[in-house]
Amino acid sequence: MTSEIIAAADGSALGNPGPAGWAWYVNDECWGAGGWKHGTNNMGELKAVLELLKSTDHVADRPLKILCDSKYTIDSLTKWRHGWKKKGWKKADGKPVLNLDLFKELDAALVGRKCTFEWVKGHAGHPMNEAADERARAAATAYRDGKTPAQGPGFTLGEPVENKTSEAVSPSLSHSVENAPSTTADSSCAAAVDSEKNLWEESVFSDESTVRRILSEDFTWVTPTGKIINRDTVIQFRLNAFQSVKEPEIIATQSLGPDAVHILSTVQTPRANVMRTSLWKRTGGEWCLEFRQETAIPPAR
């Protein structure tokens, strides 16, 4: 009988949203971790499961039991995922599913896997959960402090630890090693895109302090009618400003140097379909939105 793999998966966010980390853990010689400069706890929880599935893909014939302290993660993947998918990745209230990119990757990664989930109480002394939590929190702390987090040896069961290599790829830049940026320009674009996507999440743009941190002091927004809106007005009316009917679609990115990226996307807002131009600049290691302009897209004839 093929032996079962038992692993814990956990996420951590300092501020939620804020510097965030994820980790999966089997034992001290078999674990993985990473994170983002800016993310949520739920993102960390989901990413931990996704990376565990990827790391064990080469032993997909072995049953996998995942220990989670997040009922949101378990219910999302075992109860709600298929219904969301049938509805075009929308929830029962018709709103788009948050963290959609992660859920789509998880949906694909779970195909054909013998995977079960078990809820464990967090911060209650469960050895594997505590070990995963410690590593996820350490990754979040590293991103907060501008350091590179410990990524762990990866999945090493059945192979010598010394022969197991780990790609040194910053998780804030890519959801998978295969798509990792290979140049400074690509890295800048990917980091700016991550920041742009974070602003799609209501949990992010509804928080005033978070929006204040993301928007540059000189931020300007030009609306489809040509009206120029300043930073304070955008912050005041942030729920309307950043709301979209469905997830925007990024159609182009352009690096303007190591610390500036231009992003072009199409967005269906409650008021109109628009072409959106966003300029992100990196200041003090953080990506901030400097300028945004929207142009109405004429309806198709």
45 among the known binding-site residues?
yes
CATH number, domain 184-296, options 3.40.50.300, 3.10.450.50, 1.10.730.10, 3.40.47.10: 3.10.450.50
Q: Determine whether 259 is an active site residue.
A: no
10 among the known binding-site residues?
yes
Q: How far is CA 180 from the centre of its chain?
A: 14
Q: Determine whether 101 is an active site residue.
A: no
Cβ atoms 259, 270 nearer than 8 A:
no
Q: Determine whether 194 is an active site residue.
A: no
Catalytic member of 18, 34, 45, 247: 45
Question: pLDDT 10s per residue in the chain (301 long)?
Answer: 468 999 999 999 998 789 999 999 999 999 999 999 999 999 999 999 999 999 999 999 999 999 999 999 999 999 999 999 999 999 888 889 999 999 999 999 999 999 999 999 988 889 999 999 999 999 999 999 999 999 999 998 754 333 333 333 333 322 222 333 334 556 667 778 888 888 888 888 888 988 998 999 999 999 988 899 999 999 999 998 998 888 888 888 888 888 899 999 999 888 889 999 999 998 777 889 999 999 988 876 5
Q: Determine whether 134 is an active site residue.
A: no
Estimate the share of the chain in helix, then strand, then coil, as percent rounded to the nearest 5. Answer: 35, 30, 35
Write the CA distances from 72 to 27, 58, 246, integer angstroms: 25, 27, 22
Q: The pTM is what? A: 0.55
Q: Read off the pLDDT of residues 82-105 as tens digits, 9 standing for 90 and up.
A: 999 999 999 888 889 999 999 999
Q: Which amino acid is at 253?
A: T
Catalytic member of 51, 69, 194, 247: 69
Do 5-172 and 184-296 have matching folds? no
Q: Read off the pLDDT of residues 132-175 as tens digits, 9 standing for 90 and up.
A: 999 999 999 999 999 999 999 999 875 433 333 333 333 332 22
Q: DSSP string covering 68-95, please?
A: ES-HHHHHIIIIIHHHHHHTTSB-TTSP
CATH number, domain 5-172, options 3.20.20.370, 3.30.465.10, 3.30.420.10, 3.40.50.2300: 3.30.420.10
Provide the residue ranges of all domains of the chain, joining segments of one domain with +.
Answer: 5-172, 184-296
69 among the known binding-site residues?
yes
101 among the known binding-site residues?
no
Catalytic member of 133, 194, 196, 294: 133
Catalytic member of 28, 88, 123, 217: 123
Q: Determine whether 10 is an active site residue.
A: yes
**Beta strand pairing call for 64-68 and 115-119:** parallel
Q: Determine whether 69 is an active site residue.
A: yes
